[in-house]
Structure 1
Amino acid sequence: MSRARRILAAAVTLTAASMTLTGCFEEPSAHDAVRDFLVGWQSEDYELAASRADGDPAVVRKALEAAKLDLDAASFRFRVKSLNRQGDATTAQFGAEVDLGENSPLWEYESTLPLHLVNGVWKVRWSQSVLHPQLKDGQRLAVRPSSEPRQKVVDRTGEALQRPGRLYVVGVTPSALGDETSSVVKQLAAITGFAEDRLLSRVRSSPPGDFVQLATFGRDRYLQVQQKIAEIRPKVHVQPQDQPVDPAPPRDIVGKVGALTPETEVKLGGPQRAGDSVGRNGLQKAYQNHLTGSTKTQVITLDLKTGEDVAVLKEWPGRPNGPVHTTLDSLTQQAADAAVSTTQSGTLVAVKASTGEVLAVGAKDMGQVKDALGGKYPAGTAFSIVAADALIKAGVKPSQRLRCPAERTVGGARFVFTGQTQQPAATFQESFASGCVTALASLARRVGAEQLKRSAEAYGIGVNWQLPLKAFTGKMPSLVTDAEKAQAIAGQNVEVSPLTMALVAAAVKSGTWRPPSLVTSPDRPDPAAEQLATKPPASVPVDPAVRTALTAMMKAGVASSPSAQAGAGRVYGVAAALPSQQLGWFVGWQGDVAVAVLTKNSDAAATAGRFFGALRNPR
């Protein structure tokens, strides 16, 4: 719950608390003193509370107000448990609940209010122990937060996927500020944009000798404010820190890290404190809480004269942080980046065929998340891999003779093939390999709509698989007419992402479609991030006879696209072109690495060939 909501909740419960304190005792005189003191303390009506104590009202008021400041508390709430009278003395037992604010834990403790008669009026016997039973005169309360350094996102070998970047942590030592505390904090608030009262309460609640970090700047932002900060030094200290914040490829997948700003503090509403680093996108954002953990918090007592710790009243260890382990492979990523760098615009997704693990995501002038994982693109004849599964099961043989005219109409839908038309003796396999859309579309009457749907789902298209980052599983519309079936076989009404198609290639290679994975540990991202399904969909085996046929067909597909074959090693796949949108696909595999390449105004098959060549011969 946010600080503002907690304060509101405390205010709302005040009336109920007052009624509880009013109605739970039969002894009206001592009860009135307890009620007024605790209700006054809880509602910050320190005048009312002080009127029910036997101490100097100014001293009592100051002590109660200081307790809230010393703890940087959002609210106090009290519950009276019992009232025991012995002669002219009475003791009230009560429970206290202190909201330490900024998503820190609730501090609960039990204490007593000693009361005695003063001139016939019940009064709270005042001492510092009224605030907490272990607090003595000459002492104060304080809160000490601490956190662990941000952890790393790592690849499958444990290699860090970010490089050190410099952040500038700005803070103060309270004891060095003296009477200038308010002035210094006011200037710092103007520079950082953080609320002045929040910075001030943080300084006042901290042990005087501790360094209290109040803001963190990235390099560019720090250079902008450096001169202004210099004007309030040496009261304000700047600590340069090298932290793992600069992402290595694939940068969009790993994500950027920045300093917490007033704007992101409001949006996140999490355990962050001003000065923390925050994941802006990618896995850094999805696993923000896991990478940072939560703040360790101590409530302590301090000696007012020396500023030294006296006792720890309560300690919360916080949630431990840890690295995020991914399936990414740095060498495969280098090959993907090298391959797409030569395109005008393109993206490449590589997965481990035997597991569905994402190995690399390369992109140029396209987004690694937005396009490679989550893009919605027409499949074109790359979808013929899936359509062929349904057609072969329906009895169409790869050796089936098909005509490949330049144009054909099926059920009223017109299809145009811009490639080189084949001889009349061409087969289904040859039409598949060359992407002859007119020949493929002619098979619409040989397969049912339900058969096409089942094959699409068996290859994960439209199935509810998820990643910790936004991903598109594909979409095929309802098919009723022959025209709609023909358009599906040609991939004209089917939308897919490059990741979806890489998994299709992996299924043919391995004999089983598997849902993708990108992170192996922890099990799921933060609750506020994109959620993984409770249970991933089951793996789906490919019919062995179909797999044998598709393997031969995709071998022929590479023969029709020789640019996909680079150097030693057999590549299997199929190329597809969508001339009207200037898009090109290559979907295939080599060894245990399956890929989908999508390019604009570039040769997708050649990009795949460069990838496999670079993968075999890393620099």
Structure 2
Amino acid sequence: MDTHTHADPTPYGRPRRRPRRTAGALAAVAVVAAVAAGGAYAAGLGPFADEDGPDPEAVAEARAFLADWAAGRLPEAAARTTAPDRARQVLRSFTAGLDITGPKLVAEDPEETGEGTVTVPFTARMPVTGLGTWTYTSELPLREQNDGAWKVDWRLSLVHPRLGDGHKFRLEREETGPVRALDRDGETLSAGTHPSLAPVLARLAGGPDGGGPRGAVHLVDRATGEVVRTEASFGGRTTAKDDGPVRTTLDAGWQAAAERALGEAGGKNAALVALRVDDGEILAVANTPASGFNRALSGTYAPGSTWKIVTSSALLLKGAVAPDDVVDCPRYLTVGKRFQNVETSEHRGATFREAFTESCNTAFIGLRGKLGDGELGDVARRYFGVGQTWHVGVPSYDGSVPVPRDETEKAASMIGQGRVQANPLIMASVTATAVSGTFHQPSLVAGTEDTTATTPLPPRVVAQLRELTRATVTGGTARVLAGLPGEIGAKTGTAEVSDDQENNGWMVAHRGGVAVVEEGVTGGGSAGPVLRDLLAAAPAS
């Protein structure tokens, strides 16, 4: 529901779909590369308990347990419970038995549930290798011990609410034959020639709707083995024809360049998407390691400061700020918790342009009062299609920008943290929309349904965004791209994951029509070289 109006409400209407172009006419392209977080634990940035809320030490212990579980440190996670041996055994069998890799566990608001007890709800996103993500909610009960320390009060139901002494889970797969896929020029694509495409090609087995391999997680009776209920189903009806391969929008040249760029990044968890600005057709999708989980299209990560493209759009749309306005950039800013800039930098008297090019968190957080609580999500959905349902051709995660629950979370959302969730595909599309003004639903195969409805950005806002991203390359945090040919614009980003894991480093960029993202410790330092290598090696746009 729309609850806010903009200063420039020009109704451009729904964008028209342009006719598809052949590979020889790649006039405009957007490319994005991103790395997935190692443990994939989303610590979140708020809200934080006040003095009258649950004991912060209990909440910290719950978050630490979730972080250890997500990162695969099962002995450490088990040691945080009241039954370490049993917990270690169950957590190991649950993960291995259901082929779960890289779970994402997001803590929600804690609640005092009695004297000496606290409950922390959490959302679990469990990627089942080769099938998809099983999402559910559960709760962590914590109990204060005699020595004053807090421990997770172990019980089977905390792993999943329906896991108990009488029931267990069983994974069943339905085998499907390998899909034959071609790129946009008819060149054969396979996991053998393009290894990081493996999780994408596996999902193409279902045809335009992305049915992919099929399987299910069943709750079964421990004694009889009978299925009590199906907890999660993956894949759909196979529609791919046996008499011909699937024709994709991928470009073998872009794909090869993407794989080489990620290969030179040292084997860290990474994902990359390249797509065309003018029609959203995806040219390359790369994942490392190619373990079966499609981080590039299905991952859920905080986009960090690359999200400032959307935040800037929201501010510029309503005339709340102009590029030359002084916004200031102090080293720290406290909004329920202390926020800071990367390496605690500061730029006193900075203009909004400088705050963007130097990726100043505190300046953007200081502008939060210019936007209504739901306005950032409204702009993301209305102009960028984020949070709407996308039909890409394979399963994808299409983003989430919830209304902030308090001022701390609103501050975090301004800089792409808190509960804002995206992935390389989303940020590639965001960048393409920002520099062209029009959202095009990304597509991997021809004939995908488009149910999105968006409004084009006003030309003045597009011009400002292009100028801001260009200045980030010529004199800001994306200087690593300055030596490449073409008029490149970019935005870097760094998103906190948890205290004991490296940050996610992102970068998005466009050249003619190119946008790129990558992740490591910082956007410019670790993501930048991957993006630079990709643009240097990729076919000319």
Counterpart amino acid of 2:181? Answer: V
Deviation at 1:337, TM superposition (A): 0.9
Equivalent residue runs for 1:176-215 within 5 Å: none
Partners of 2:272 and 2:214 lie apart in 1 by: 36
Which residue of the partner structure matches residue 79 of structure 1?
A: none
Which residue of the partner structure matches residue 495 of structure 2?
A: 578
Deviation at 1:571, TM superposition (A): 1.4
Deviation at 1:568, TM superposition (A): 1.4
Which residue of the partner structure matches residue 377 of structure 2?
A: 453
Deviation at 1:617, TM superposition (A): 7.5
Partners of 1:451 and 1:368 lie apart in 2 by: 36
Q: TM-score, normalised by structure 1?
A: 0.49
Which residue of the partner structure matches residue 435 of structure 2?
A: 509
Partners of 2:274 and 2:292 lie apart in 1 by: 12
The answer (yes or no) to whether the contact 2:196–2:290 under 8 Å persists in 1 is no
| Deviations 1:87-124 (CA, angstroms, capped at 9, x unpaired) | xxxxxxxxxxxxxxxxxxxxxxxxxxxxxxxxxxxxxx
Q: What 5-or-longer segments of structure 2 have no aligned partner? A: 1-176, 206-211, 217-234
Question: Which of 297, 302, 305 lines up with 1:381 in the alignment?
Answer: 305
Which residue of the partner structure matches residue 508 of structure 2?
A: 587
| Deviations 1:51-85 (CA, angstroms, capped at 9, x unpaired) | xxxxxxxxxxxxxxxxxxxxxxxxxxxxxxxxxxx
Q: Does 1:251 align with 2:177?
A: no
Cα distance change of structure 1 residues 256 and 488 upon mapping to structure 2, 3 Å threshold: closer
Q: Does 1:362 align with 2:286?
A: yes
Counterpart amino acid of 1:575? Answer: T
Counterpart amino acid of 2:199? Answer: D
Q: TM-score, normalised by structure 2?
A: 0.55
Which residue of the partner structure matches residue 120 of structure 1?
A: none
Partners of 2:259 and 2:451 lie apart in 1 by: 29
Question: Which of 417, 421, 426 lines up with 2:341 in the alignment?
Answer: 417
Structure with more strand by fraction: 1
Q: Secondary structure at the match of 1:594?
A: coil
Partners of 1:513 and 1:490 lie apart in 2 by: 22
Which residue of the partner structure matches residue 495 of structure 1?
A: 421
Partners of 2:178 and 2:410 lie apart in 1 by: 52
Q: Does 1:158 align with 2:186?
A: yes
Which residue of the partner structure matches residue 12 of structure 1?
A: none
Root mean square deviation, CA, Å: 3.1
Equivalent residue runs for 1:293-332 within 5 Å: 321-332=243-254
Partners of 2:440 and 2:338 lie apart in 1 by: 35
Counterpart amino acid of 2:345? Answer: T
Deviation at 1:515, TM superposition (A): 0.9
| Deviations 1:378-426 (CA, angstroms, capped at 9, x unpaired) | 111111100101111232111121222221013x242111336344231
Deviation at 1:607, TM superposition (A): 1.2
Which residue of the partner structure matches residue 467 of structure 1?
A: 392
Q: Percent identity?
A: 29
The answer (yes or no) to whether the contact 2:194–2:256 under 8 Å persists in 1 is no
The answer (yes or no) to whether the contact 1:566–1:610 under 8 Å persists in 2 is no
Question: Which of 519, 541, 544 lines up with 2:456 in the alignment?
Answer: 541
Q: Does 1:349 align with 2:273?
A: yes
Counterpart amino acid of 1:398? Answer: P
Question: Which of 365, 372, 396 lines up with 1:441 in the alignment?
Answer: 365
Cα distance change of structure 1 residues 617 and 575 upon mapping to structure 2, 3 Å threshold: same
Deviation at 1:505, TM superposition (A): 0.6
Partners of 1:358 and 1:347 lie apart in 2 by: 14
Partners of 2:334 and 2:245 lie apart in 1 by: 56
Question: Which of 526, 530, 533 lines up with 1:603 in the alignment?
Answer: 526
Equivalent residue runs for 1:47-86 within 5 Å: none
Cα distance change of structure 1 residues 287 and 250 upon mapping to structure 2, 3 Å threshold: farther
Structure with more helix by fraction: 1
| Deviations 1:204-263 (CA, angstroms, capped at 9, x unpaired) | xxxxxxxxxxxxxxxxxxxxxxxxxxxxxxxxxxxxxxxxx98765232123999xxxxx
Partners of 1:433 and 1:558 lie apart in 2 by: 8
Which residue of the partner structure matches residue 273 of structure 1?
A: none
The answer (yes or no) to whether the contact 2:258–2:286 under 8 Å persists in 1 is yes
Q: Of the two structures, which has the highest relative contact order with CA contacts closer than 8 Å and spacing of 6 or more?
A: 2
Cα distance change of structure 1 residues 539 and 356 upon mapping to structure 2, 3 Å threshold: farther
| Deviations 1:533-577 (CA, angstroms, capped at 9, x unpaired) | x64213531121111111111112223221133431121110011
Q: Does 1:430 align with 2:354?
A: yes
Partners of 1:418 and 1:160 lie apart in 2 by: 44
Q: Secondary structure at the match of 2:517?
A: strand
Cα distance change of structure 1 residues 362 and 555 upon mapping to structure 2, 3 Å threshold: same
Counterpart amino acid of 2:469? Answer: M
Partners of 1:512 and 1:266 lie apart in 2 by: 35
Deviation at 1:451, TM superposition (A): 2.5
> Is the deviation greater in 382-391 or in 414-423?
414-423
Counterpart amino acid of 2:526? Answer: D
Q: Secondary structure at the match of 1:513?
A: coil
Partners of 2:254 and 2:315 lie apart in 1 by: 34
Partners of 1:150 and 1:608 lie apart in 2 by: 31
Partners of 2:363 and 2:513 lie apart in 1 by: 31
The answer (yes or no) to whether the contact 2:469–2:491 under 8 Å persists in 1 is yes
Deviation at 1:290, TM superposition (A): 2.1
The answer (yes or no) to whether the contact 2:200–2:294 under 8 Å persists in 1 is no
Partners of 1:571 and 1:369 lie apart in 2 by: 31
Question: Which of 259, 267, 270 lines up with 1:337 in the alignment?
Answer: 259
Partners of 2:271 and 2:514 lie apart in 1 by: 16
Partners of 1:265 and 1:603 lie apart in 2 by: 34
The answer (yes or no) to whether the contact 1:155–1:329 under 8 Å persists in 2 is yes
The answer (yes or no) to whether the contact 2:178–2:202 under 8 Å persists in 1 is no
Q: What 5-or-longer segments of structure 1 have no aligned partner? A: 1-148, 164-244, 259-263, 269-284, 293-320, 525-533
Counterpart amino acid of 1:603? Answer: S
Q: Secondary structure at the match of 1:555?
A: helix
Counterpart amino acid of 2:201? Answer: V
The answer (yes or no) to whether the contact 2:190–2:197 under 8 Å persists in 1 is no
Counterpart amino acid of 2:440? Answer: R
Which residue of the partner structure matches residue 291 of structure 1?
A: 241
Question: Which of 470, 488, 504 lines up with 1:555 in the alignment?
Answer: 470
The answer (yes or no) to whether the contact 2:194–2:255 under 8 Å persists in 1 is no
Deviation at 1:447, TM superposition (A): 1.6
Counterpart amino acid of 2:273? Answer: V
Deviation at 1:598, TM superposition (A): 3.1
Deviation at 1:479, TM superposition (A): 2.6
Question: Which of 455, 476, 484 lines up with 2:401 in the alignment?
Answer: 476
Equivalent residue runs for 1:523-538 within 5 Å: 523=447, 535-538=450-453
Q: How many residues align?
A: 328
Partners of 1:252 and 1:323 lie apart in 2 by: 17
Counterpart amino acid of 1:584? Answer: G
